[in-house]
Structure formats: structure tokens, C-alpha cells
A and B are shown apart, each in its own frame.
Chain A
Amino acid sequence: MSEISEIIPPYVEIEKDKPQLFIKCPRERIRDLVQHFVKLQLRFNTMTGVDLKDKLCVVYHFSYYPIIHGKSGVINVKVEIPKDDPRIPTISDILEPAFYYEREIWEFFGIVFEGHPRLEHLFLSPDYPKHPLRKS
């Protein structure tokens, strides 16, 4: 546990009984957490949008480089977002690869990344009206 607490700051909650490390972060603190992970040089694998029926969720996937950190494994950061207010701060200025992932999640789930420089369609046609991976 002590090893984890060095990496995971106190404002996040660790989910129990999971085969991998899943943590929950409040949406206001996600930029702080990502900045913290960037400083630690964690690998940013990808971002996933999930529709949990009553709310939306963005999962940020990070992993260790054994050559830098001396251990392996993944850290999944979950941020839950209410459906009636689907907004979350962007991290594309901190982490360059998030530029495309955020556009993709906005396109498929309608989650608005505030401060993203170019929230345009990436895969679908520019006039596509819906967010197709929403379950409703």
C-alpha cells in the first residue's frame, strides 16, 4: 500500500476487488493528476469513453515503463460525468496524444473537453448528427 500512496495522490479513491488498479478521480482534479503522472514519466496508453447508462465516464489508461520505474502494471483513472452536464477539462495541452483521443470521445459520446483547441469530427462525417456509442 505504501508504494501505491507514493504515486497516487490522496484526492483519488482506489476501487477494490479489481484485477488491475482502477482509481476514481473527481473531474475538477483530473488535470492535476495527469500533470503528476506526466512528471513521473508514466506511459499514456489511451483514453476510453464509457456510457454507464445513468452517467458517462472517461477512463485514462497509464502504465509503467519497467526500465524507468522498475515495475510493471497499469493505472486506470476513471472520471465520472453526469449526463445532463457532459463537460470535462481538456488534457491535450499537457499530453499531446490526447488531442486525437479527446476528439474521438467527443465525437462518439458527446463529452465536451473544455479548452480543447479543435473539437471537430475525426472519424465520422462532419455533419453526422448523433453520438453513436451512447446507449440511449
Chain B
Amino acid sequence: MSSIIPVGPYHPALHEPLLIKLYVEGELVVDVDLRFGHVHRGIEWLGERRTWIQVPYLAERICGICGDVHRRTYIAGVEKLLDIEPPPRAQYIRTIMLELERIHSHLLIIAALYHAMSFDAWFMQIMAIREKVMDLCEMISGNRKHYAMSVIGGVRRDIPDELKPKILKVIQEVRDYTRKVIIPVMEGDKTYQARTRQVSVISYDDALKYHLAGPTLRGSGVYSDVRYDEPYEIYPELEWEVVTHPDGDNWARMYVRAVEVLVSCDIIEQCVKKLPSGDILHPKAKPWLRLPPRVPEGEILSRSEAPRGEVVHYIRSAGGDRPDRWRVRVPTYANFGGIKPLLVGTHVADVPISYTSIDPCLSCTNRFEIVDVRTGRSKVLTETEMKLISRKYTKYLRDGVNKKVLNI
């Protein structure tokens, strides 16, 4: 920590470096400490110096996986301050993009969990099915990520009728795969269950006490989803259900995500079938594609349900052509509040899995530091070494499970 980096991550956890200090006694984790800030980009500071129509592009780049939901949250807040509502067709298109994003984000984290557990065949297969969703996003918006679909007062691009069958076909493939492969493997595979069942249990009360978000909260049995709590876009008009599971362990959190993929498929299918005709942009909003609006004085808290949980944007206008204050709270930041009940009491080999189960981005988690409380020795493990420990443990368990099966 002696190196000095003047700015650190604004979006602390997602795909950016993070230091987790694990205090262990033997194999058991007894305390955890976090330090973020290695790639802080000062996005809020930048946002206060950009106009209302420039900030959405910045907001979208907060996250490399769930960027669209940040863009939508910011724009919805500005729309409320301007007191306009996008036309219904635009709301349907926004919902389709948000749900496509949720599907590919959930598939990615399920794949990443299998990778952390050394089931690399599953990792490749799930990533292959995710690729079809990414191609679909590219067909609709022109980009695999950073769709830039929502603009103030509507959306930027329409979904033409000839794309509808393609969307429905991909959605059906994803649904079949999730229903026939992903969920049965979760429910049936003994090694997978041995690694995830009853590991890092967060109780219902703890989930409420630490104010967790998203599948981490719902995996502990709390019936809460911003799409249901404070409905936005066209969610209240659709038939869907909030997914919860009472167990609160790693298995429950991943199971909630897998079932949410099915729910998202249903939502997209309904949206595509019901998609109304009409404008995609509010008549007042046309000039705002190029010129920033004058937003009246006021402040607002805008919320959305990102794949990882609740995203909160606080937007304050002083009456000018740019925000006076723009503050972003991402779901992983909320979930880091619950990192202690999650990791304390687990084994070191379970840490990568428990950590993945709250769905942060692991790719840039540079290292874990292990301090042995009894000897005071400190040893820094790279992520690769950490994964090796996890993989060895899976192998050990798998052999154990196989032996048990043979004995029966």
C-alpha cells in the first residue's frame, strides 16, 4: 500500500482492483478489512463539469457489465426533474435492454463461479450461450456493451419488426438452456452443492441489518426488488415475480440468479409481443439530442434494479445546463457492508466462491492478503494462487463425494 495513486475507484468493486485483508486463524477467517481506491476515476467530479446530455455517456461507463442501468437511472431522474415522461414504446424498449443486460450479467457470474470452482467446461458452455445474448444486443443497439439506448425523453434507436423473431428465438434458447442445464446442475451436482450449501450463510435478519442489495438480499429470503418496490418503466404492466430463496448461503444466491434469468426471459417475451406502435421520443425532447436542456432547480433520488442490486443516483440541479451534484451508489458498495457476515467464519478456500456469490467483478481483484493471527506472519497471495487453493479443495471434495457414492 505504499504506492501513491492520487485517484481511486469511484465504483469501488466492479471490475476494479480491491484489497481484501483476511485475518485468519489456521484455515478460518476471523476478520476482514477492505481497501479500495486503486483506480478511482473521479466520475462524480467529472459529472459536475459536463452538461446534462453528456453525463449519460459517463454514467454508462461506470460499469462494464451493467452500464445501461446507470444510464437509465440518471436519465429517469433528470426526466422527473423536467417533468416529462417518455412515450410507451420507448419504455418498452428500455425494459427490453435492461432485461437483456440482466440476463448476460447473471450468466457471466454463474460462469465465473464455476470457473472459481474449477468446472471450466461449464464455464465455457455458459459463456457460449451468453455470447448469443451479446450478439442480440449488438443487433439491436449496434454495440455489444454500452448500448447508449436511453436519451432524455425516450430512446435513441427503434427495434424494427424484423428483429422481433430473432429476439424471441434467442430468448427461447437461453430459457431452454437455463431450465434444462443450469438449474438441474445446480440442484443435482453433489460437488457443486458441497462447495456452496451452508457456506457463508447470511440470515434474513442480517440481510436487513446490513441493508444488502439485489440477489444477495433476496438469497436471504427478503422479498425486495426495486422493480417491485418502486415500479418504473413498464414493469407494473407485466406479469412477473420477485425471486427469493430462504437459505441465505452461496447456493441460494446463485439459484436466485439462475431463476431470475428465466424471469427476465419472460419479461422480454411479453415486451416484444406487446410492443406498442408510436414515437420513441417525447416531442419536447428532440432538441435535447444536441443541446442540453435547462433543468429547473430541484433534487431527486432515482433508483433502479441493476443485475447486482439497487442502483441509487442522487441528482441535484441548481437551474443550469449541468448538474450541481451527482452521486452514485452502486449495489456492490452496499453489499460490501455485509462482507463481514459473508466471509467471517468461512475457510480460506471458500473465500473466492463466497466473494463471487455477491457478484462483484473478480477479474481485477488484484490480490488477497493473508495474515496468520497466531504467528503474525503475513503472506500475499495472488488471485491465481487463491484460485488454486479453491480448485484443490474442489478436487478433494469431488474425490470424497465419489468415494461416498461408491460406498453406497
A binds B: yes
Q: Which stretch from A28-36, A80-88, A93-101 is at the chain B interface?
A: A93-101
* CB-defined contacts of A76 to chain B, threshold 8 Å: 299, 301
Report yes or no: B211 in contact with A63, Cβ–Cβ below 8 A: no
- Determine which of A18, A49, A124, A132 lies in contact with B37 in the assembled complex, contact meaning CB atoms within 8 Å: A124
Cα A41 to Cα B205 in complex, Å, equals 11
Specify the chain B residue showing the minimal Cβ separation from A18. B298
* A125 with B37, Cβ < 8 A, contacts A48-B314, A65-B229 known: yes
Report yes or no: B301 in contact with A127, Cβ–Cβ below 8 A: no
Report yes or no: A73 in contact with B316, Cβ–Cβ below 8 A: no
The smallest beta-carbon distance between A17 and chain B, in angstroms, is 9
Asked if A133 lies at the interface with its beta carbon under 8 angstroms from chain B, I say: yes
Interface flags, A108-124, vs B, CB<8A=1, else 0: 00000000000001111
Interface centre among A97, A122, A128, A132, by most B CB within 10 Å? A97
* CB-defined contacts of A22 to chain B, threshold 8 Å: 299
Report yes or no: B4 in contact with A123, Cβ–Cβ below 8 A: no
Cα A76 to Cα B4 in complex, Å, equals 36
Report yes or no: B209 in contact with A96, Cβ–Cβ below 8 A: yes
Interface centre among A41, A51, A96, A126, by most B CB within 10 Å? A96
Report yes or no: B230 in contact with A45, Cβ–Cβ below 8 A: no
Asked if B9 lies at the interface with its beta carbon under 8 angstroms from chain A, I say: yes
Asked if B36 lies at the interface with its beta carbon under 8 angstroms from chain A, I say: yes
Asked if B114 lies at the interface with its beta carbon under 8 angstroms from chain A, I say: no
Cα A74 to Cα B303 in complex, Å, equals 10
Cα A44 to Cα B323 in complex, Å, equals 24
Report yes or no: A124 in contact with B8, Cβ–Cβ below 8 A: yes
Interface flags, B1-12, vs A, CB<8A=1, else 0: 100111111101
The smallest beta-carbon distance between A57 and chain B, in angstroms, is 9
- Determine which of B6, B222, B314 lies in contact with A124 in the assembled complex, contact meaning CB atoms within 8 Å: B6
Of residues 290 through 344 on chain B, the ones whose CB sits less than 8 Å from some CB of chain A are 298-301, 303, 310, 312, 314, 316, 325, 327, 329, 333-334, 336-337
The smallest beta-carbon distance between B222 and chain A, in angstroms, is 8
Asked if A43 lies at the interface with its beta carbon under 8 angstroms from chain B, I say: yes
Asked if B170 lies at the interface with its beta carbon under 8 angstroms from chain A, I say: no
The smallest beta-carbon distance between B91 and chain A, in angstroms, is 19
Cα A110 to Cα B198 in complex, Å, equals 42
Asked if B144 lies at the interface with its beta carbon under 8 angstroms from chain A, I say: no
Report yes or no: A64 in contact with B301, Cβ–Cβ below 8 A: no
The smallest beta-carbon distance between B367 and chain A, in angstroms, is 18
Size range of the chain B interface in the assembly: 35 or more
* A97 with B337, Cβ < 8 A, contacts A19-B300, A123-B9 known: yes
Cα A46 to Cα B327 in complex, Å, equals 10
- Determine which of B7, B8, B44, B334 lies in contact with A133 in the assembled complex, contact meaning CB atoms within 8 Å: B44
Asked if B224 lies at the interface with its beta carbon under 8 angstroms from chain A, I say: yes
Cα A45 to Cα B6 in complex, Å, equals 28
* A66 with B229, Cβ < 8 A, contacts A76-B301, A96-B337, A124-B7 known: yes
Interface flags, B55-93, vs A, CB<8A=1, else 0: 000000000000000000000000011000000000000
Interface centre among B222, B231, B337, by most A CB within 10 Å? B337
Cα A124 to Cα B1 in complex, Å, equals 12
Report yes or no: B298 in contact with A19, Cβ–Cβ below 8 A: yes
* A61 with B8, Cβ < 8 A, contacts A45-B301, A96-B337, A132-B45 known: no
The smallest beta-carbon distance between B219 and chain A, in angstroms, is 16
Cα A18 to Cα B45 in complex, Å, equals 25
* CB-defined contacts of B81 to chain A, threshold 8 Å: 19
* CB-defined contacts of A50 to chain B, threshold 8 Å: 316, 325
Report yes or no: A59 in contact with B230, Cβ–Cβ below 8 A: no
Report yes or no: A100 in contact with B7, Cβ–Cβ below 8 A: no
Cα A61 to Cα B229 in complex, Å, equals 15
Specify the chain B residue showing the minimal Cβ separation from A65. B224
* A123 with B10, Cβ < 8 A, contacts A46-B312, A50-B316, A67-B223 known: yes
Interface flags, B230-241, vs A, CB<8A=1, else 0: 110000000000
Asked if A136 lies at the interface with its beta carbon under 8 angstroms from chain B, I say: no
Asked if B190 lies at the interface with its beta carbon under 8 angstroms from chain A, I say: no
Report yes or no: B37 in contact with A123, Cβ–Cβ below 8 A: yes
Cα A111 to Cα B301 in complex, Å, equals 22
Report yes or no: A96 in contact with B299, Cβ–Cβ below 8 A: no
The smallest beta-carbon distance between A133 and chain B, in angstroms, is 6
Asked if B228 lies at the interface with its beta carbon under 8 angstroms from chain A, I say: yes
The smallest beta-carbon distance between B358 and chain A, in angstroms, is 14
Specify the chain A residue showing the minimal Cβ separation from B335. A97
Asked if B40 lies at the interface with its beta carbon under 8 angstroms from chain A, I say: yes
Report yes or no: A41 in contact with B8, Cβ–Cβ below 8 A: no
Taking A19-B300, A41-B208, A97-B334 as known contacts, 6 extra A-B pairs with beta carbons closer than 8 A to each other, sorted by chain A number, are: A22-B299, A44-B211, A45-B329, A64-B229, A66-B228, A121-B37
In the A-B complex, the 9 residue pairs with the smallest Cβ-Cβ separation, listed nearest first, are A97-B337, A46-B329, A123-B8, A123-B37, A67-B223, A48-B327, A125-B4, A44-B211, A48-B314
Show 21 residue pairs from A and B whose CB-CB distance is below 8 angstroms, ordered by the A residue: A18-B298, A19-B298, A41-B208, A43-B211, A43-B224, A45-B310, A45-B329, A66-B228, A67-B223, A67-B224, A72-B229, A74-B303, A76-B301, A97-B210, A97-B211, A97-B337, A123-B37, A124-B6, A124-B8, A125-B6, A132-B42
